[in-house]
Amino acid sequence: MHPVLFHIGAILVPSYGAAVAVGVLLALFLAQHTARVGALDQAKVWNLCVVALFVALIAQRLLLVVLNMHDLAQHPSWLLTLAVVHHPLLTTAGSLAGALAALFSARWFKLPIRQTADVLAAPLALGLAVEQLGALLAGSGYGTETNVRWAVTYVHPLAALWCGTPLGVALHPVQAYAAFAFLSLAVFLLVSQPAIRQPGDLAGLWFLGTGISVYITELWRDTEGRGSFADGALDGPQLGAVVLVMAGALLLLERKKPLPLSEAANG
């Protein structure tokens, strides 16, 4: 595939970084639409997204620097290439930091938590879909060896250098599977937004759909660097997927509305 999208003189523009940037922009603009449908302040939602994004990027970059401090001390110029590194641990750290920043921002901007989560559900799914297309181009999160007709084979040496991708081997395009799953989820959430029964339902569906998508697509991903749990029954992302499904189920539970004071007194 193509880990480098194009060159500007001696500067390489990585496909993964470019795809992530496009995914972020699409998610931000979609969030403006979903905020309008959800009757939330679009400017506050935009600011919340920007804050969460920057906190997530900073958390990922700091973790990379800490984990590679020795090598970076010997090769300071490698700091310029850290943006093209993709790893489940970094994704988890960035996601947690971004989620916490979004939560605190929602409180700061006086946005209702569950309604805000509903508004962000479809944009997040869309952003993940585009991110996985970037991973497909870069060779990041590559699949297992296969002989299916739609297999992908990486030959660019930077795919091996940046992502550890095996070269000259036919692999499952698992990133494309994940991109299709996330895009389908985004469309479903977008169509379902006007018909939600209670605040938090769309967020619950996002957790549920994302968890299922991650768990299933991990079956075709190479396990290198993804951890192992329960005697190899689960890898790290699958364990996280189980947590997402449980969180989604809790959010989708029917919540009883408090009775008006007059009815409560009569009862």
The verdict on residue 266 lying in a domain is no
Query: Is 52 in contact with 98 (CB distance < 8 Å)?
Result: yes
**Domain boundaries, position 209:** 4-256
The verdict on residue 263 lying in a domain is no
List, in order, residues 6 or more apart from 247 with CB less than 8 Å away. Answer: 204, 207, 211
The verdict on residue 267 lying in a domain is no
Instruction: Find, among 164, 168, 158, the residue nearest to 141 by Cα.
Output: 164
d(CA 3, CA 57): 20
Angle, helices 113-138/201-217, rounded to nearest 10 degrees: 20
d(CA 94, CA 101): 10
Position 262 scores a pLDDT of 47
pTM over 0.75: yes
The verdict on residue 224 lying in a domain is yes
| Residue that is written with structure tokens 């920043």 in the block | 101
Tally of CA atoms within 13 A in the half-sphere of 106 that contains its CB: 17
Position 73 scores a pLDDT of 63
The verdict on residue 111 lying in a domain is yes
Residues 206-235 pLDDT 10s: 999 999 999 999 999 988 777 777 777 788
137-to-131, 159, 178, 227 alpha-carbon distances in Å? 10, 9, 13, 24
The verdict on residue 82 lying in a domain is yes
Residues 256-265 pLDDT 10s: 654 454 444 4
HEC string for 193-206: HHHCCCCCHHHHHH
Q: Which residues of the chain have pLDDT under 70?
A: 10, 67-89, 255-267
Position 267 scores a pLDDT of 44
The verdict on residue 261 lying in a domain is no
The verdict on residue 154 lying in a domain is yes
The domain total for the chain is: 1
